[in-house]
Chains A and B, each alone.
Chain A
């Protein structure tokens, strides 16, 4: 909300100017290199180095507004991201109109790769009065530099009709997240939330490699570079906890100031869906055509939360929360959950001075509790789980609701075949 933002920043300026030292100490240390900000002026510039960087993996994401449908059938206006890989910049605006998705497209890359992540700000179709910048914050990226942290107070947001390419040397595997950090309380409530998974380099070891007493074989997948095969999994499932306050979304659609002070979420979701939409293996078609008759409806919720596996498989649940309001607890009667990672790190104590791995801190649990900006890696070994249908749901039981609709909310199913 531009007006409120201006007010906020004005207050901030006034309050903090007093504390700001007067002198700037430029060039500390060393001399200044050429200013890299001055080298490009065109709007959309998708930077992907191709052969000049063999480690490069390029992702092109656009952001703007759109609509999604809740499990009770209601439409929610959102801000969000969409995948625009391969879309020519000359047609991106027409392609991407009202195309925001929730959750945002999941970004996958591999440890050791160089991620070139281009964000293009397409502006708001339903809110032409807004000219909010946007960012991508790679949540949890180790040793982040401010310029690619996507936190605009310490760097910048990219303004409408422009793009920026963020660069990340992917050093650590794990379950990360990404989200817009511009006016985060608003933009995140509005839906600019996605998953970012970095796969372990250990997956690519030569067939037959010994990891301690464990023998790696081609095709094996691990959550982390565990060195002992203990995070091997067969099936991988994303589970993003989040929730919406429909009054907040309606205010944004209705050109009202964002009602931060009254924010209460009543649509608890997994992967952007309330139950039973969570178990729909297909996409959820939105209803944006009702708001813009020249734009046909779109599948804007593309990530099911249904978990299916064959008995005996190890299922990796990459669980994260990007709730803007609260902690949630997930419980799963009938099968144990082994936590092997938190905060995109293998759950081990610090390595010893001689380089040997730290103490293994994996633990079994029946519940997972996450607040916003927290993630964990859970492995479910289904060897001793009888075939059948199980339920993974919030034990904050009142959130088994889609607003005023019962038998819904933050729940999905775990089917062991």
Chain B
């Protein structure tokens, strides 16, 4: 624990949580407190509620911070540039899972660390027989206990953090997240020395086989038919923990999308399959993988995003429009249903190039009499929607602005209104509990 001499504050944002350190110093440490616990994720189209294991960001007493809930992927951990030590304090709040272990651990595959394995016979340290099998790649913790993992060889990059315990089960259950370390805070921030960006999006690709989750939740994993995960058959395919259309339920960018600006796409795959994200209408410049800068950047529209991989790519959209981003391995269903899975958009909502007004053909925003009218059709009605806003001029991070309870206008669409903000250079995204799309009201032109 090296909180001494540091000032920290938490700034809840639309995407994960950003931690900022304000004081420069020769040996700064970033400290994060995570609790691993169970949660439930409901699939779209009246799909099943799936038990998952995730992380919640806590204070030093492992009490969840305000507004923080257990989430999959876990909260993004932002290590301030220049910090030389990363401490992750982990409390095991996992439920009992029958014969399956509820002990857990945490690794960052891309960062060197001293690791002492724990074997399935419960012993730790060097192997003592040829029949031992590893349960945890590093020190594990039992339910109710906590442990601190420390990394001192930090470098800039986009990294995974994930369970190092029985990963074929625990990573599948959802114990993964993203760590980012920038080379310089900016603005503009630098992801790596010389790689500047104006805006960023974290894109975590993962899959779920509900049968394994059900077996773990029921405490029957380890008995037939789920004695191993060899017959893994994923049915749901997530970007940032949600399948399409729920991928649209929160902004993927940390700031408004402005044409001509450099967007850093941080791709991560804690899933078990290779995915091939394809960008529609755009090329990206791949600058790093696994937090190692590439010796020469590559320009491509597709990326072979293997299991356990991270990539950083810069994309600079210069034209308005709906730029699809989807998995060309065709993981584009929610179970059997079309129009689901690993699909989202890079949209230029509210950007200098103009506001397209519709996204995914589901949402329309218009200005009328000092009000903003939101209308949307052909989707299931949700009980509430959330409006995020940011200011295009200041490029501030998104903040939650309002909650809307929609009504049904006469034309059969769904709609709601909110007061027009005083400054019309304001950017919105809307999200709901069952939802929808994003939209914007752009600058007047």
Kindly state whether residue B120 has any CB partner on chain A within 8 Å: yes
CB atoms of B290 and A364 under 8 A apart: yes
Q: Specify which of B110, B166, B291 lies most central, judged by the most chain A CB atoms within 10 Å of its CB.
A: B110
Query: Which listed residue (B115, B167, B224) contacts A390, Cβ 8 A?
Result: B115
Residues of A within 8 A of B164 (CB): 333
Binding site of B, secondary structure by majority: helix, strand, loop or mixed? loop
| Least Cβ–Cβ distance between A25 and chain B, in angstroms | 44
Kindly state whether residue B135 has any CB partner on chain A within 8 Å: yes
| Least Cβ–Cβ distance between A302 and chain B, in angstroms | 15
Interchain CA distance A327-B127 in the complex, whole Å: 30
**Residue on B with the closest CB to A391?**
B137
Residues of B in contact with A, size category: 35 or more
Interface residues of A in 387-417 (CB under 8 A from B): 388-391, 394-409, 411, 413, 415
Kindly state whether residue A43 has any CB partner on chain B within 8 Å: no
CB atoms of A403 and B230 under 8 A apart: yes
**Residue on B with the closest CB to A331?**
B308
Interchain CA distance A406-B167 in the complex, whole Å: 11
Residues of A in contact with B, size category: 35 or more
CB atoms of A363 and B274 under 8 A apart: no
| Least Cβ–Cβ distance between A363 and chain B, in angstroms | 6
Interchain CA distance A399-B308 in the complex, whole Å: 13
Interchain CA distance A415-B131 in the complex, whole Å: 16
Interface residues of A in 234-293 (CB under 8 A from B): 266, 275-276, 279-282
Question: Mask for A105-122, Cβ within 8 A of B = 1, else 0?
Answer: 000000000000000000
Question: Mask for B304-323, Cβ within 8 A of A = 1, else 0?
Answer: 10111100000000000000
Kindly state whether residue A142 has any CB partner on chain B within 8 Å: no
CB atoms of A362 and B292 under 8 A apart: no
Interchain CA distance A279-B127 in the complex, whole Å: 10
CB atoms of B126 and A362 under 8 A apart: no
Interchain CA distance A367-B267 in the complex, whole Å: 14
CB atoms of B153 and A276 under 8 A apart: no
Interchain CA distance A131-B289 in the complex, whole Å: 49
Residues of A within 8 A of B201 (CB): none
Interchain CA distance A399-B274 in the complex, whole Å: 13
Interchain CA distance A397-B162 in the complex, whole Å: 12
CB atoms of A369 and B134 under 8 A apart: no
- A residues contacting B by CB (< 8 A) are 266, 275-276, 279-282, 327, 329, 331-336, 359-367, 369, 384-386, 388-391, 394-409, 411, 413, 415
Interchain CA distance A68-B172 in the complex, whole Å: 31
Residues of A within 8 A of B117 (CB): 389, 391
Interface residues of B in 111-165 (CB under 8 A from A): 111-117, 120, 126-127, 130-135, 137, 153, 164
CB atoms of B112 and A401 under 8 A apart: no
Kindly state whether residue B171 has any CB partner on chain A within 8 Å: yes
Interchain CA distance A309-B126 in the complex, whole Å: 14
CB atoms of B131 and A365 under 8 A apart: no
| Least Cβ–Cβ distance between B196 and chain A, in angstroms | 22
Interchain CA distance A140-B131 in the complex, whole Å: 37
CB atoms of B127 and A331 under 8 A apart: no
CB atoms of A389 and B296 under 8 A apart: no
Interchain CA distance A242-B217 in the complex, whole Å: 33
| Least Cβ–Cβ distance between B215 and chain A, in angstroms | 12
Give me the 8 closest cross-chain CB pairs, A-B, nearest first.
A395-B308, A398-B232, A401-B228, A333-B109, A364-B292, A366-B290, A401-B230, A395-B307
Kindly state whether residue B98 has any CB partner on chain A within 8 Å: no
CB atoms of A366 and B308 under 8 A apart: yes
25 contacts across the A-B interface (CB closer than 8 A): A279-B130, A280-B130, A282-B130, A329-B307, A333-B164, A334-B111, A334-B112, A361-B296, A363-B292, A365-B289, A366-B109, A369-B274, A369-B304, A385-B112, A389-B126, A391-B137, A397-B229, A398-B228, A398-B272, A400-B168, A403-B228, A406-B222, A408-B133, A411-B134, A415-B127
Kindly state whether residue B382 has any CB partner on chain A within 8 Å: no
Interface residues of B in 275-333 (CB under 8 A from A): 289-292, 294-296, 304, 306-309
CB atoms of A395 and B134 under 8 A apart: no
| Least Cβ–Cβ distance between B212 and chain A, in angstroms | 9
Known: A398-B168, A404-B230. A365 touches B107 (CB 8 A): no
CB atoms of A395 and B306 under 8 A apart: yes
Interchain CA distance A326-B113 in the complex, whole Å: 31
CB atoms of B274 and A407 under 8 A apart: no
Known: A408-B133, A413-B127. A396 touches B307 (CB 8 A): yes
Interchain CA distance A386-B138 in the complex, whole Å: 13
**Residue on A with the closest CB to B294?**
A363
Interchain CA distance A408-B227 in the complex, whole Å: 12
| Least Cβ–Cβ distance between A147 and chain B, in angstroms | 36
**Residue on B with the closest CB to A347?**
B295
Residues of A within 8 A of B289 (CB): 363, 365
**19 further interface pairs, Cβ-Cβ under 8 Å (given A389-B117, A394-B307):** A276-B132, A276-B133, A280-B130, A327-B274, A331-B109, A334-B107, A334-B112, A361-B296, A364-B292, A365-B289, A366-B308, A385-B112, A391-B117, A395-B272, A399-B230, A406-B227, A413-B134, A415-B126, A415-B127
Residues of A within 8 A of B110 (CB): 333, 366
Known: A391-B137, A396-B272. A404 touches B116 (CB 8 A): no
Query: Which listed residue (A332, A361, A406) contacts B229, Cβ 8 A?
Result: A406
Interchain CA distance A52-B128 in the complex, whole Å: 52
Query: Which listed residue (A280, A329, A362, A403) contacts B309, Cβ 8 A?
Result: A329
Residues of A within 8 A of B107 (CB): 333-334
Interchain CA distance A281-B115 in the complex, whole Å: 22
Known: A333-B107, A361-B295, A389-B126. A406 touches B168 (CB 8 A): yes
Residues of A within 8 A of B153 (CB): 384
Q: Specify which of B168, B222, B227, B230 lies most central, judged by the most chain A CB atoms within 10 Å of its CB.
A: B230
Interchain CA distance A276-B128 in the complex, whole Å: 13
Interchain CA distance A360-B295 in the complex, whole Å: 8
Residues of A within 8 A of B111 (CB): 334
Query: Which listed residue (A329, A388, A391) contacts B308, Cβ 8 A?
Result: A329
Interchain CA distance A73-B267 in the complex, whole Å: 40
Interface residues of B in 250-276 (CB under 8 A from A): 272-274
**Residue on A with the closest CB to B291?**
A366
CB atoms of A386 and B134 under 8 A apart: no
CB atoms of A367 and B167 under 8 A apart: no
Interchain CA distance A409-B134 in the complex, whole Å: 12
Query: Which listed residue (B127, B229, B292) contacts A336, Cβ 8 A?
Result: B292
Query: Which listed residue (A360, A391, A394, A405) contacts B134, Cβ 8 A?
Result: A391
Residues of B within 8 A of A359 (CB): 295-296
CB atoms of B112 and A335 under 8 A apart: yes
Question: Mask for B57-69, Cβ within 8 A of A = 1, else 0?
Answer: 0000000000000
Residues of A within 8 A of B114 (CB): 386, 388
Residues of A within 8 A of B309 (CB): 329, 366-367, 395
Residues of A within 8 A of B133 (CB): 275-276, 407-408
Q: Specify which of A366, A367, A407 lies most central, judged by the most chain B CB atoms within 10 Å of its CB.
A: A366
Residues of B within 8 A of A279 (CB): 127, 130
Interchain CA distance A388-B111 in the complex, whole Å: 15
| Least Cβ–Cβ distance between B227 and chain A, in angstroms | 5
Interchain CA distance A384-B151 in the complex, whole Å: 13
Interchain CA distance A360-B294 in the complex, whole Å: 11
Interchain CA distance A366-B166 in the complex, whole Å: 19
CB atoms of B115 and A388 under 8 A apart: yes
Residues of A within 8 A of B115 (CB): 333-334, 386, 388-390
| Least Cβ–Cβ distance between B35 and chain A, in angstroms | 22
| Least Cβ–Cβ distance between A356 and chain B, in angstroms | 17
Residues of A within 8 A of B228 (CB): 398, 401-406, 408
Interchain CA distance A415-B172 in the complex, whole Å: 27
Interchain CA distance A331-B292 in the complex, whole Å: 15
Residues of B within 8 A of A327 (CB): 274
Residues of B within 8 A of A406 (CB): 166, 168, 222, 227-229
